[in-house]
Structure 1
Amino acid sequence: MSPLTQPTDPLLLAGSDGLWSLREDAYVQDEGSALEVQSRWGGVRVNHPSPMLREVLRRMELGPGRLENIRGTSDLVQRVRLMVELQQLGGLVVRSVSAADGRSPLMSVVPTAADAWLRPAPTPEDRRLRLSRFAALRSTGDGAVLESPLSPFRVVLPRPKAGWLIASLATPTTAREAAERLPVDPGTVRTLLSYLLATGMVQAADEARGADGAVFAEDADPVLRTWSHHDLMFHWRSRPGFTDGVFGAEYALRGVQNPPPRIRPLPDGTRVALPRPGDGGPGDEGPGLSVTEAIEQRVSARSHGRSPLTLDQLGEVLHRALRVRGGDADRPYPSGGACYELEFYVSVARCQGLEPGIYYYAPAEHCLVRLPADEAALRGMLADAKAGAGMSETPDVLLTMTARFARVSWKYSGIAYALTLKHVGVVQQTLYLLTTALRIAGCAIGTGDTERSARAFGLDWREESAVGEFILGSLPDQERREIVNRT
């Protein structure tokens, strides 16, 4: 038998290197006529278990072990029954590959879905293998882990040798070529590859053709072509269902560090008081649009009028949409868990009653604080906004939304950044409806320059960073007349 040829028996497939254990969160309850294995996914009940299964599960609770060390596994009938019973446990079973030195496993495959069951298959010797472009290898601090949104497994790598194998699969290679490169015996490499292929994170070429002799299914998949690695990974990690990650209000940092304050301390700088509705602002000229009318008439206005936006108009937008309106830092827009992590910075090109510059909006005081950004920083911010919105002229005012990320991640696990982006969308829609009702030009922008905005606002982007933008300005005269005539 070639050193890279594998048997097909489900128990012998892993060879002497194969180890079996239960997930760390799983434990066995013996109810006499039945065994129930409990985990994060609930309980899995096995009625009338064989004596061999009882012994196997007892050992698997203690850690990785070899099934061939259990008395009776040499009997084909008993071995088949054991495998049928184990498969009922689905994603509770962890498969590992041991090393010749008997120390920690080279690799463990942990299911991340309740029904995931690893099915290793013989490694094809004549086809090229490659790591999936959706797989990601990262450090855990005491080892490495390989993950993919397309796999219901997580591959844990406590030791570097298996990591070397994965690195060698960054480009198409055969199992034999991979084995020749590594200081690991070919049989163990064969077993590692069979496990990795079973997870889907390593793929075998469909057939030998093409410039490099390898064609992989995921490259030709019309659905996967539409996804980048990062977008699919982000979507997968921010919603439960295909991953065993922790989600929701877990308060992971409680007792480790305090959350940032609900209201951000004011930066140093000259304060500019803002008018409020009732101070003679545009909202007092007469009735505005109804919610239905604002929804129907909403547009992205990418041109501004000859006369600039006024301080009264800017003050009313900020007051109605973003201010602290009551106790516990409550705002006009909703925020998950009342985190209110969003902050707002105003870059002004022209606004009647306000000097050009970059300002921080203080929502509790309803005022602007002038920041020490220079003219070049202001020009850069406005130039980015102009390009992002596809405008022919510099916008009157750019409103940049930043997030104090720890406000959300202190409480929420798994969904923290996704929740922040939802908050950005909520604020952008609030601003759209408000600017439409107040007859002001408004336009959301899809992106901005993280580095430029952090420098302009004096921020550490890892702690607080731009996550959304919205342009404000006066409506061109013709558009304003049309809105007035319609109302």
Structure 2
Amino acid sequence: MDEPGTVHLWSLREDVAIERGDDGDLLLAGPWGDERIGDAHPVLREALYRMELGPVLLSNIESAPGSPVLGAGLYLVLLPALRRLSHLIVRTLGLADLRGPLLSVLPLTRPAVFVLPRLGETEPVRLHRGVTLLLEAKGFRLERGGAQHRVLLHRPEPMWVVAMLAAAITPEAVARTLPLPLPRTVTREILEYLAAAGMLVRGSAGRDSPDRP
């Protein structure tokens, strides 16, 4: 039986509201003030309206009938605009198994930018020494003083991965030694989300060093 693949979901922070300005522009009211989007493409408008309601898969955003923007072209419209709004967007990693998301990364500051790195299978990683794990009503969260993101752990699988990161270990070794098997690609993507959130030290078994982008 094929293992379920991962899905990458996008949503707006819960404290972000979309308003339509008198001039037709979109206004995103958030914790650090308003973000005005003038002459927003219909695809971007649709994506933001859906993201206000909850996590969405960008590939499910459809262009209006007759629009010249189709298929992969949607990403050329969406991704640059969403990247500029990174400080308002929650990024969520899930499995296509209908059991809910694995983890979510919440931006905490206006300058926060979320960029997924590419981890090699043999590149050592470990948790920053300043990372704390806290229990919440609906799971656990990871945070670190000075980090621009917070990580919410929704299911046991990312917890298993985090538990392996007290000392430097490679993604390949994490996947091989987990208490229950996870596809190697899923393990690596969990680690990449943690790295993008500023929770990991990469390529160092000793003292803390800045994460590479």
Give the C-alpha shift of residue 101 in structure 1: 2.2
Is 2:52 the counterpart of 1:56?
no
User: Which of the two has higher C-alpha Rg?
Assistant: 1
Is 2:9 the counterpart of 1:19?
yes
User: In structure 1, how many angstroms separate the alpha carbons of the residues matched to 2:11 and 2:197?
Assistant: 17
Q: CA contact under 8 A between 1:204 and 1:216: conserved in structure 2? A: no
Q: Which residue of the partner structure matches residue 205 of structure 1? A: 203
Letter in 2 for 1:83: L
TM-score (norm 1): 0.39
User: In structure 2, how many angstroms separate the alpha carbons of the residues matched to 1:125 and 1:22?
Assistant: 32
Equivalent of 1:139 in 135, 142, 163: 135
User: In structure 2, how many angstroms separate the alpha carbons of the residues matched to 1:147 and 1:74?
Assistant: 39
User: In structure 1, how many angstroms separate the alpha carbons of the residues matched to 2:97 and 2:74?
Assistant: 30
**SS of 1:17 mapped into structure 2:** strand
Q: CA contact under 8 A between 2:6 and 2:95: conserved in structure 1? A: no
Q: CA contact under 8 A between 2:103 and 2:153: conserved in structure 1? A: yes
Is 2:27 the counterpart of 1:36?
yes
User: In structure 2, how many angstroms separate the alpha carbons of the residues matched to 1:114 and 1:53?
Assistant: 21
Give the C-alpha shift of residue 176 in structure 1: 0.9
Give the C-alpha shift of residue 200 in structure 1: 1.6
Equivalences, count: 198
Q: Deviations over 1:448-474 (max 9, x none)?
A: xxxxxxxxxxxxxxxxxxxxxxxxxxx
Aligned-pair identity in percent equals 35
Is 2:119 the counterpart of 1:129?
no
Letter in 1 for 2:7: D
Q: CA contact under 8 A between 1:18 and 1:66: conserved in structure 2? A: yes
User: In structure 1, how many angstroms separate the alpha carbons of the residues matched to 2:61 and 2:73?
Assistant: 14
Structure 2: unaligned runs, 5 residues or longer: 64-68
User: In structure 1, how many angstroms separate the alpha carbons of the residues matched to 2:184 and 2:70?
Assistant: 25
User: In structure 1, how many angstroms separate the alpha carbons of the residues matched to 2:198 and 2:57?
Assistant: 24
TM-aligned CA distance change 1:74 to 1:116, over 3 Å: farther
Bigger proportion of residues as helix: 1
Q: How does 1:63-462 map to 2 (within 5 A)?
A: 63-71=54-62, 75-182=71-178, 183-206=181-204, 214-218=205-209
Q: CA contact under 8 A between 1:28 and 1:37: conserved in structure 2? A: yes
Q: CA contact under 8 A between 1:44 and 1:88: conserved in structure 2? A: no
For the aligned residues, what is the CA RMSD?
Answer: 2.0
Structure 1: unaligned runs, 5 residues or longer: 1-14, 207-213, 220-487
**SS of 1:97 mapped into structure 2:** strand
Q: Which residue of the partner structure matches residue 347 of structure 1? A: none
Bigger proportion of residues as strand: 2
Q: Deviations over 1:159-207 (max 9, x none)?
A: 221111111111111011112233322222121111111112112115x
